[in-house]
């Protein structure tokens, strides 16, 4: 029996997530949106691609949460996207009420689900979902590190003219300008990238990684990234549904790991059918540790603005 995945938000991110997940054939998908006709039309269009892509996954589009009942995973993408000149943090107060309402609706029908947060500012929205859902911290996960890492890997592959498959990268911290790429632990075919590229080039690529989302926003002018984020979400869903226990960088609620308490921060985790099954702690240099704690404090500032009680 296939698993059931609910995706809230039928915009570019949500619809792309639905397509990627359905095409793998591991789960049935319910696409929810408040705009009448949009989730129904997109779901029907994707469903009709099944015979071509050889997927028997069922897709349903709806404006109601009733059809999401007993979902195994709920992916929250709904919210206002970034516009040029807007930081992820600028979205905070606008998206708080949206994510709060969505989380309450999801939990009403699927109290035992795993929640994946995509809405920005991602780390703060994950903390909000954890607070509202009252789920264990292992069952509320932010999609951030995979996206940040894949951007880092992409830019390195372009610079070196090598396959992205041979690049393993490490990016920690919040999903924003304070993220912490770790070149020391980034390898190309097992060789540290610091042994291959000069520091000046690495610094340039790190800076582009940190500003990767903003670069896309400035080019699109009327929206933000969705192909890469949806690919990241699909990788997380695979690891959970198939119990792959992949070690993936995700936003997780820390309770003392890395010396950080009470906020969501991007770190490597073991992702399986129970959600986050282990938080992997990497030994950091003093400089890396300081940068990670600074990133955590930036997230904490946003959380304090939300006044969660």
| pLDDT on residue 222 | 84
pLDDT digits (tens, 9 = 90+) for 84-133: 776 656 778 889 999 999 999 999 999 999 999 999 999 999 999 999 99
For residue 229, how far is the Cα from the chain centroid?
7
| pLDDT on residue 157 | 98
Q: Specify whether the backbone of 46 is left (phi greater than 0), alpha (psi in -120 to 50) or beta.
A: alpha
Sorted by where each begins, the domain ranges of the chain are 3-142, 145-306
| pLDDT on residue 80 | 80
Main-chain phi, psi angles of 101, to 5 degrees: -65, -40
Question: How far is it, in rounded angstroms, from Cα 5 to Cα 113?
Answer: 9
Question: How far is it, in rounded angstroms, from Cα 298 to Cα 264?
Answer: 11
> Which residues are part of the catalytic machinery?
175
Q: In this model, does residue 61 exceed pLDDT 70?
A: yes
Nearest-10 Cα torsion for 260, 263, 266, 270? 80
| pLDDT on residue 70 | 98
Give the pLDDT band of residue 1 (cuts 50, 70, 90).
confident
Q: Any residues with CB less than 8 A from the CB of 72 and at least 6 apart, and which?
A: 3, 4, 5, 27, 110, 113, 114, 240, 241
pLDDT digits (tens, 9 = 90+) for 255-304: 999 999 999 999 999 999 999 999 999 999 999 999 999 999 999 999 99
Give the pLDDT band of residue 172 (cuts 50, 70, 90).
very high
Q: In this model, does residue 47 exceed pLDDT 90?
A: yes
- The counts of H helices and E strands in the chain are 10, 14
Please say whether the structural domain 145-306 has been given the CATH code 3.40.50.150.
no
| pLDDT on residue 278 | 98
Q: Across-strand partners of 191?
A: 188
Mean pLDDT of 134-138: 98
Structure tokens at 66: 């009733």
Q: Across-strand partners of 275?
A: 272
- Residue 141, SS3 per DSSP: strand
Q: Which CATH topology does 3-142 take?
A: Rossmann fold (3.40.50)
Fill in the DSSP letter of residue 282: P
**Cis bond leading into 121, ω under 30°?**
yes
Question: How far is it, in rounded angstroms, from Cα 274 to Cα 283?
Answer: 26
- Least confident residue range of 49-58, 74-83, 199-208: 74-83
């Amino acid at each position: 029996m296939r698993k059931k995945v609910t995706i809230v938000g039928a915009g570019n991110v949500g619809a792309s997530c639905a397509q990627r997940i359905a095409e793998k054939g591991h789960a049935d998908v319910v696409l929810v949106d408040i705009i009448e006709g949009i989730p129904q039309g997109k779901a029907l269009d994707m469903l009709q691609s099944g015979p071509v892509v050889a997927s028997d996954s069922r897709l349903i589009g709806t404006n109601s949460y009733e059809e999401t009942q007993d979902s195994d995973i709920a992916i929250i993408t709904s919210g206002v996207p970034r516009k040029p000149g807007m930081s992820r943090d600028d979205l905070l107060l606008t998206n708080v009420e949206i994510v709060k309402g969505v989380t309450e609706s999801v939990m009403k029908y699927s109290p035992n689900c795993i929640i994946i947060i995509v809405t920005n500012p991602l780390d703060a929205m994950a903390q909000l979902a954890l607070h509202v859902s009252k789920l264990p911290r292992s069952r509320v996960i932010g999609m951030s590190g995979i996206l940040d890492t894949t951007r880092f890997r992409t830019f390195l592959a372009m610079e070196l003219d090598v396959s992205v498959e041979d690049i393993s990268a490490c990016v920690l911290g919040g999903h924003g300008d304070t993220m912490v790429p770790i070149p020391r632990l980034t390898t190309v075919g097992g060789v540290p990238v610091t042994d291959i590229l000069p520091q000046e080039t690495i610094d340039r690529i790190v800076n582009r990684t940190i500003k990767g989302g903003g670069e896309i926003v400035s080019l699109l002018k009327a929206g933000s990234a969705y192909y890469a984020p949806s690919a990241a979400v699909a990788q997380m869903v695979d690891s959970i549904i198939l119990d792959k226990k992949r070690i993936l960088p995700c936003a997780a609620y820390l309770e003392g790991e890395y010396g950080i308490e009470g906020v969501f921060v991007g770190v490597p985790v073991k992702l399986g059918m129970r959600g986050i099954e282990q938080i992997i702690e990497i030994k950091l240099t003093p400089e890396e540790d300081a940068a990670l704690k600074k990133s955590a404090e930036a997230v904490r500032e946003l959380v304090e603005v939300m006044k969660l009680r």
